Chain A
Amino acid sequence: MYVYDDYDRAIINQRVNQFRDQTQRYLDGKITDEQFLPLRLQNGLYVQRLAPMMRIAIPYGTLSSRQLRKLAQISRDYDKGYGHISTRQNIQLNWPKLEEVPDILAELATVEMHAVQTSGNCIRNVTADQFSGVAADEVEDARPYCEIIRQWSTFHPEFAFLPRKFKIAVCGSKADRAAVMVHDIGLQIVKTAAGETRFKVIVGGGLGRTPVIGSVIHEALEPQHLLSYLEAILRVYNQLGRRDNKFKARIKILVKALGPEAFKEKVEAEWAYLRDGQLTLTDAEIDRAKGFFTRPDYAALDDQDLQAMALESAEFARWLKQNTHAHQQPGYRIVTLSLKPIGIAPGDITAEQMESVADLADQFGFGELRTTHQQNLVLPDVKQTDLLTLWRTLTDLDLASPTVGTMNDMICCPGGDFCSLANAKSIPVAEAIQRRFDDLDYLYDLGPIDLNISGCMNACGHHHIGNIGILGVDKKGQEFYQISLGGSQGLDASIGKILGPSFAQEEIPDVIEKILGAYVDLRQPEEDFVDTFTRVGLDPFKERVYA
């Protein structure tokens, strides 16, 4: 993990002081609500339906057990004893008090954490493939570059008041687990024939009310130019992005309006000034960043026969298949802890669970954890021989739902229960679906299905790129839900197509059942949901659902 030096520490501590002073001036009436808004947002503080909401940054989803323990303590001391893992790999507290936020930030700083730029019209916390550094299909570890980007974007003087929020994601694996095609900037690490690292630079993707798949503007950017190129993109966007209408202010609208080619030309013109200047990354800096993400002290082990291990029990076998993934190191496995047991809001975790998980990270790993944009947690380095013991413990903690990758591992925004922008609730919809489809054999038979739910078109639940997307809509003051099908994340990402007229909340489980029924009838052997959809199109599903 990255470890702060005196510079990082000083910067974060001064941030705490700065915000303490700003909060005090606000409480004293010396800063208006309007002026305080961007200041608090850039410190992760929303004012929400029921209480303020605080979003704490987990840069690129990497967390230490010590940090997780601190989060547990903070959630207990300043909140109601739980937190919520978000689709942006951050953690949110739903009930902090404004006056106490500076104290929370001070507590966070003691474990090298913060809430810098987790909201507001600035460069947001950078996200990454949650399996970075351990994924069997990895091209190169994304985290050193994420950390370099984190530092560059932290308090960037030029880009703190952008037209709109700005999100960067980095993926260093073959399978894209970071949704790089739907970010303002997506960076996909690729290798040249000679094995040199390059970045495929994708701009102008995004969801929200205008979903757009990003455009590639550089096929193979050399690592030393990473920051100067990013700076050039941001500078073009800062000057030309629309500011007259916040719904048209994202970079995706600019890239679409200019066309990716013309946009690229403008970036290259700006880059001409920056290229080869002081921003050029040095080998020393790249090596320094990589130095924090070296492989831990793995034991020399052989791979176990997982099939044989699975004979232990049917429950364990299910979990092993669904919730663990192949590791780079022989004898190890990546374990996903499901935050989707039926009956809790997807992504919620209690303080007690956080503490237990922190202990597990120490016991069964190197004290490191990941948060995922599917709103789960990951233990990246588990010895295969420990899997059974770990599974037993996780089962006791209610963190072992063997549903990862299935439809019940849904992404779900907080929706109308917490969010003041919502058109409809989303948590009860998720729960109703989970309850209807709780038959594991059926879920497994369906294979991988991303089901994503957003309570409004802001798309915090990524509904557009769900194989099945559910969107809360408002019809004459009543809550309804629109279904879309065929969205996908990955490098061949696609935006789902709207099925037709929307449904009332209680109809949703039936509708999903019909959609799944159609899929089961239509699929060819071994064909995933999204592939069947691509082959047969929307109509057969429509016929079944609206028959």
Chain B
Amino acid sequence: MPNIIKNNGVVQDDWQVWRDTESLPDQGKVIVPLALWQAEKAELQALGDVGVFLASDESPKLLGDDIALLPLIAVDFPKFADGRGFSYGRELREQHGFKGELRAIGDFMRDQLFFLKRCGFDAFALENTELEDAIASLADFDEVYQASIDQPTPLFRRR
């Protein structure tokens, strides 16, 4: 099983990302595309734990009330320069009250971990990176100016 960064540590990961939108997986602990989830919700739920990943042009709004059903939502970064997922993270946490695991998948990079964490992500499936080293980037800054998920009070209300 591959490792990922989760809750500030390196852990083994038993979830699998299922990118196929046509056929169904045969087991749970799987993260499926939004389209597959919308088409086959009942079958997928029957498999056990299922998460959904949003492509970078799929706003969390498309999940609607299903957000409350999901233990895990992932946001796929097709390119690290595509920053839509940062807004999705905050939207899921702040506007939709999502409490489950919020995972970044795809082509993001270590140097984005700090910002991703601030936007509500708590799991990072970083590929091709030395994870033990990468954890350091989660703590690039001790202080921040803005309000966000990890620090809902902006600095100007704290100084």
Residue A351 is within 8 A (CB to CB) of chain B in the complex: no
Residue A465 is within 8 A (CB to CB) of chain B in the complex: no
Q: B84 CB to closest chain A CB, in angstroms? A: 6
Residue B83 is within 8 A (CB to CB) of chain A in the complex: yes
B155 interface neighbour in A151, A163, A277, Cβ under 8 Å: A151
Q: Tell me, in angstroms, the Cα distance from A235 to B88 when the chains sit together.
A: 9
Segment at the interface with A among B8-16, B32-40, B113-121: B113-121
The proximity string for A residues 2-41 relative to B, scoring 1 for CB distances below 8 Å and 0 otherwise, is 0001010011001100100010000000010001001100
Residue B154 is within 8 A (CB to CB) of chain A in the complex: yes
Which A residues touch B84, using CB under 8 A? 238-239, 243
- Does B112 lie within 8 Å of A161, measured CB to CB? yes
Which B residues touch A277, using CB under 8 A? 147
The proximity string for B residues 120-139 relative to A, scoring 1 for CB distances below 8 Å and 0 otherwise, is 00000000000000000000
- Known A158-B90, A161-B112; contact A279-B147, beta-carbon cutoff 8 A: yes
Which A residues touch B114, using CB under 8 A? 157
Residue A170 is within 8 A (CB to CB) of chain B in the complex: no
Q: B94 CB to closest chain A CB, in angstroms? A: 7
Residues of A277-327 contacting chain B, CB below 8 A:
277-279, 281-282, 285, 288
Residues of A118-153 contacting chain B, CB below 8 A:
121, 148, 151-152
Which chain A residue shows the least CB distance to B152? A278
- Does B145 lie within 8 Å of A11, measured CB to CB? yes
Which chain B residue shows the least CB distance to A227? B154
Q: Tell me, in angstroms, the Cα distance from A162 to B86 when the chains sit together.
A: 10
Residue B148 is within 8 A (CB to CB) of chain A in the complex: yes
B145 interface neighbour in A121, A151, A163, Cβ under 8 Å: A151
- Does B146 lie within 8 Å of A156, measured CB to CB? yes
Residue A442 is within 8 A (CB to CB) of chain B in the complex: no
Q: Tell me, in angstroms, the Cα distance from A151 to B145 when the chains sit together.
A: 6
Q: A194 CB to closest chain B CB, in angstroms? A: 26
Residue B144 is within 8 A (CB to CB) of chain A in the complex: yes
Q: How many residues of A contact B (CB 8 A)?
A: 39
- Does A161 lie within 8 Å of B143, measured CB to CB? no
Which A residues touch B82, using CB under 8 A? 161, 243
Which chain A residue shows the least CB distance to B86? A158
- Does B155 lie within 8 Å of A7, measured CB to CB? yes
Which B residues touch A121, using CB under 8 A? 81, 83
Residue B87 is within 8 A (CB to CB) of chain A in the complex: yes
Residue B66 is within 8 A (CB to CB) of chain A in the complex: no
- Does B140 lie within 8 Å of A18, measured CB to CB? yes
Which B residues touch A161, using CB under 8 A? 80-83, 86, 112
Which chain B residue shows the least CB distance to A15? B141
Residues of A155-170 contacting chain B, CB below 8 A:
155-163
- Known A278-B157, A285-B156; contact A162-B83, beta-carbon cutoff 8 A: yes
Which chain B residue shows the least CB distance to A21? B136
- Known A11-B141, A11-B145; contact A239-B155, beta-carbon cutoff 8 A: no
Which chain A residue shows the least CB distance to B84? A239
Which A residues touch B145, using CB under 8 A? 11, 151-152, 154-156
- Known A157-B118, A157-B119, A273-B94; contact A10-B83, beta-carbon cutoff 8 A: no
Q: A27 CB to closest chain B CB, in angstroms? A: 15
- Does A157 lie within 8 Å of B111, measured CB to CB? no
- Known A160-B115, A273-B95; contact A14-B141, beta-carbon cutoff 8 A: yes
Q: Tell me, in angstroms, the Cα distance from A281 to B143 when the chains sit together.
A: 19
Residue B17 is within 8 A (CB to CB) of chain A in the complex: no
- Known A160-B115, A235-B87, A273-B94; contact A11-B143, beta-carbon cutoff 8 A: yes
Q: Tell me, in angstroms, the Cα distance from A38 to B141 when the chains sit together.
A: 18
Q: Tell me, in angstroms, the Cα distance from A285 to B119 when the chains sit together.
A: 24
Determine which residue in B84, B111, B155 has the highest number of CB atoms from chain A within 10 A of its CB, and name it: B111
- Does A281 lie within 8 Å of B112, measured CB to CB? no
The proximity string for A residues 225-244 relative to B, scoring 1 for CB distances below 8 Å and 0 otherwise, is 00100000001001100010
Interface set of B (CB-CB < 8 Å, partner A): 59, 80-84, 86-90, 94-95, 109, 111-112, 114-116, 118-119, 140-148, 152-157, 159
* Known contacts A22-B111, A152-B145; 12 further A-B pairs (Cβ under 8 A): A11-B144, A14-B140, A35-B111, A39-B111, A151-B156, A152-B146, A155-B144, A157-B144, A157-B148, A158-B118, A235-B90, A288-B159
Name 25 interchain pairs, CB-CB below 8 A, sorted by A: A7-B143, A7-B159, A11-B145, A14-B140, A14-B142, A35-B80, A35-B111, A151-B145, A152-B154, A157-B116, A157-B146, A160-B112, A160-B115, A161-B80, A235-B87, A238-B83, A239-B88, A243-B82, A243-B84, A273-B94, A273-B95, A278-B153, A278-B157, A282-B156, A285-B156
Q: Which 9 A-B pairs have the closest CB atoms?
A: A161-B83, A157-B118, A157-B115, A285-B156, A151-B145, A158-B86, A278-B147, A238-B87, A18-B140
